């Protein structure tokens, strides 16, 4: 590449960079970005001078060094941009997370277990509603999760402290809006075809009761309980349309990768969140669901429950009856149009 082509490349890429910053963050961030580039060019020039002095070689003037700095910055910017675009496209369109619907039976009971999470695309929830309608027309009953209200109001505050963040009523709604998704509104899934819907969950009181029995519970990494809902509302108010578009594309990719990778999900639950509380939320609710299945005379059951529960619920069922087996698995794509 000769010097003229280098200059043309640098000018084109820097123009793209300036337009990108301007459209995503307007004048203030553009000025800040250009200032920081100039600042780092000075730092890089000092390093360059020191290196030339060590090598006892003649150095270029700053005005000659600056085009070289911007050229390498342009190359780095293009490399990072292409890498990010490819990773986002791959995670969202080529290999997005697919969520399973498990069909299991022990020869007597038939269960359709639909993995759920509280924030997905609206299309995904509509697909689940269609499934519920289909199976209820075939005489299935619906078992759903919804942690029951606390009789002791103090347990809500204890729950927030144990979770290390405030669990406000509109938390999922505001996070969903920030990420361009929808949240799981329980009433959208109830009273479809008939009213044979059963809440197979425990209460906040029971969760706190079991949590307080644990010895040596993990302490939160910060002294105050995080207000994620407030942060989501502030971000929505501060971001423009371009920023929201970019954030949502990147976050969809992160969610697809994170949920697909079990080791990443486990690390987040144990390090970013309170692993002790998650153990209670998972284990005790799993036991309750299995007890409910075994103690009620419902032979055709459609279950909508958080995705982390299925493996352990299935294992507990097999402990009570080894005849339980998976007969079929269907898939839906909750954060992608793939397969539709």
The residue ranges of every structural domain in the chain are 3-94, 99-332
Buried/exposed 184-203: b ≥16 CB within 10 Å, e otherwise: beeeebeebeeeebeebbbe
Q: For residues 21 and 31, what is the distance between their CA atoms, to the nearest angstrom?
A: 9
190-222 pLDDT, tens per residue? 999 999 999 999 999 999 999 998 888 776 666
Question: How far is the first Cα of the chain from the last one, in angstroms, to the nearest whole number?
Answer: 45
| CA dist list (Å): 32 to 20, 133, 235 | 14, 54, 20
Q: For residues 240 and 26, is the Cβ–Cβ distance under 8 A?
A: yes
pLDDT interval class at 339 (50, 70, 90): very low
pTM of the model: 0.82
Residue ranges in 90-107 assigned as alpha helix (H): none
- Tell me the pLDDT band of 266, cut-offs 50, 70 and 90: low
CA–CA dist 337, 332 (Å, integer) = 10
């Amino acid at each position: 590449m000769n010097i003229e082509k280098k200059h043309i490349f640098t000018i084109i890429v820097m123009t793209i960079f300036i337009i990108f910053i301007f459209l995503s963050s307007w004048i203030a961030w553009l000025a800040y970005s250009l200032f920081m580039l100039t600042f780092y060019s000075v730092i890089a020039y000092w390093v360059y001078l020191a290196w030339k002095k060590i090598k006892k070689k003649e150095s270029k003037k700053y005005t000659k060094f600056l085009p070289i700095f911007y050229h390498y910055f342009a190359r780095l910017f293009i490399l990072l941009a292409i890498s990010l675009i490819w990773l986002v496209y791959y995670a969202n369109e080529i290999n997005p997370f697919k969520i399973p619907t498990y069909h299991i039976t022990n020869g007597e009971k038939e269960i359709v277990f639909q993995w759920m999470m509280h924030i997905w695309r609206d299309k995904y929830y509509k697909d689940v509603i269609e499934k519920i309608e289909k199976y209820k027309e075939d005489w299935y009953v619906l078992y759903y999760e919804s942690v029951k209200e606390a009789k002791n109001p103090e347990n809500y505050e204890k729950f927030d402290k144990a979770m290390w963040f405030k669990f406000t009523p509109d938390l999922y709604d505001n996070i969903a809006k920030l990420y361009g998704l929808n949240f799981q509104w329980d009433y959208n899934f109830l009273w479809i075809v008939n009213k044979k819907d059963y809440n197979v969950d425990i209460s906040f009181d029971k969760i706190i009761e079991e949590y307080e029995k644990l010895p040596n519970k993990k302490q939160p990494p910060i002294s105050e309980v995080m207000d994620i809902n407030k942060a989501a509302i502030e971000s929505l108010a501060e971001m423009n349309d371009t920023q929201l578009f970019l954030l949502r594309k990147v976050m969809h990719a992160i969610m697809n990768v994170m949920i697909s990778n079990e080791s990443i999900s486990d690390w987040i639950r144990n390090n970013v969140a309170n692993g002790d509380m998650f153990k209670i939320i998972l284990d005790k609710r799993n036991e309750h669901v299995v007890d409910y299945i075994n103690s009620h005379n419902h032979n055709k059951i459609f279950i909508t429950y958080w995705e982390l529960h299925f493996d352990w619920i299935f294992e507990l069922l097999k402990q009570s009856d080894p005849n339980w087996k998976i007969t079929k698995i269907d898939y839906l794509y909750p954060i992608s149009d793939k397969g539709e």
